[in-house]
Chains A and B, each alone.
Chain A
C-alpha cells in the first residue's frame, strides 16, 4: 500500500546536536510538507516543497533545514540553532490539485535531553 513513512518514531537529541528526521513517500506526490505540533496547539508549517530541488520556508523555518533531491524523500534537519526543538513533527504530501488534501505520516516525536 502507498503511504508516507516517517522515521524514527521517537528521537532524543542532546543540546547542540543536529538531528535529521526522515520522510519517504511512495504515492508519487509532487508536494511535500513538514509541520511542527506542540501540545494544545495546531500544526505550524516549517518548510514545503512543490517539486524536486525546490523548497520554500513556512511560518517557522528558523533553526531547520531541508533538502529535496528525490521526489520520494524530504528529510528535515533540526539544527542546534533551534532553541526549543522538543515537539511532534509531521510530514505530509499532496497531489497538485487542492481538492485532494494531504496525506500524513505517523510523526516523529523529538525530545531534547
Chain B
C-alpha cells in the first residue's frame, strides 16, 4: 500500500521561529494532499489542501504548503510560530493509490516554546 510519511513525531520551535512540518508521499501518481490540525480534546480542522491546481497553497492561521512533485513532498510551513500553534498536525492523502477514505498517520506534535 502507498504511504505518507511525516518525519518527526514531535517538533519543538521557539515562539517567532520558522515552523516546518514534513510530509512525503510515495505514490508515482500524486494524490490530493491535505493538512489537518488538532488541538487538545478537539476534532480535526482543515488547514489547507492541494488538489492539483496551484502548487503553493495558503491556508488558515498563516500556514502554507508547497507541493513538489520532484521531491514527492508537501511540507507545511509558517514563518513565525505563535504559542497558539501548539497542536497535532496530520498530513493525509486521497485519490489514486490511496483510496477514497483518509488514512491518517500518527501525526506530528508541535510544541512552541516561549
Q: Could you say which residues of chain B place their CB within 8 Å of the CB of A102?
A: 44, 46, 102
Q: Could you say which residues of chain B place their CB within 8 Å of the CB of A6?
A: 43
Q: Could you say which residues of chain A place their CB within 8 Å of the CB of B107?
A: 42
Residue of A nearest to B45 (CB): A104
A106 CA / B45 CA spacing, docked (Å): 10
Q: Is B28 an interface residue (CB 8 A)?
A: no
In this complex, which of A4, A58, A98, A104 has the most chain B Cβ atoms within 10 angstroms of its Cβ? A98
Residue of B nearest to A9 (CB): B41
Q: Is B49 an interface residue (CB 8 A)?
A: yes
A107 CA / B41 CA spacing, docked (Å): 7
- What are the interface flags for B62-103 relative to A under an 8 Å C-beta threshold, 1 for contact and 0 otherwise? 000000000000000000000000000010001100001111
Q: Could you say which residues of chain B place their CB within 8 Å of the CB of A109?
A: 41
* Interface residues on chain A, size class: 20 to 34
- What are the interface flags for B26-56 relative to A under an 8 Å C-beta threshold, 1 for contact and 0 otherwise? 0000001010100001111110010100000
CB contact between B43 and one of A44, A58, A107 (< 8 Å): that residue:
A107
For the complex, would chain B's binding face be called helix, strand, loop or mixed by DSSP majority?
A: loop
Instruction: Say whether B95 contacts A98, CB under 8 Å.
Output: yes
Q: Is B8 an interface residue (CB 8 A)?
A: no
Task: For the A-B complex with A48-B101, A99-B51, A104-B43 known, give 14 more contacts whose Cβ atoms are closer than 8 Å.
Answer: A4-B43, A35-B104, A42-B90, A42-B105, A42-B106, A43-B104, A44-B104, A90-B44, A92-B44, A98-B94, A99-B32, A101-B94, A103-B46, A107-B41
**Nearest CB on A from B35, distance (A):** 10
Q: Could you say which residues of chain B place their CB within 8 Å of the CB of A104?
A: 36, 43-45
Instruction: Say whether A101 contacts B34, CB under 8 Å.
Output: yes
Q: Could you say which residues of chain B place their CB within 8 Å of the CB of A64?
A: none
**Nearest CB on B from A32, distance (A):** 11
Residue of A nearest to B6 (CB): A42
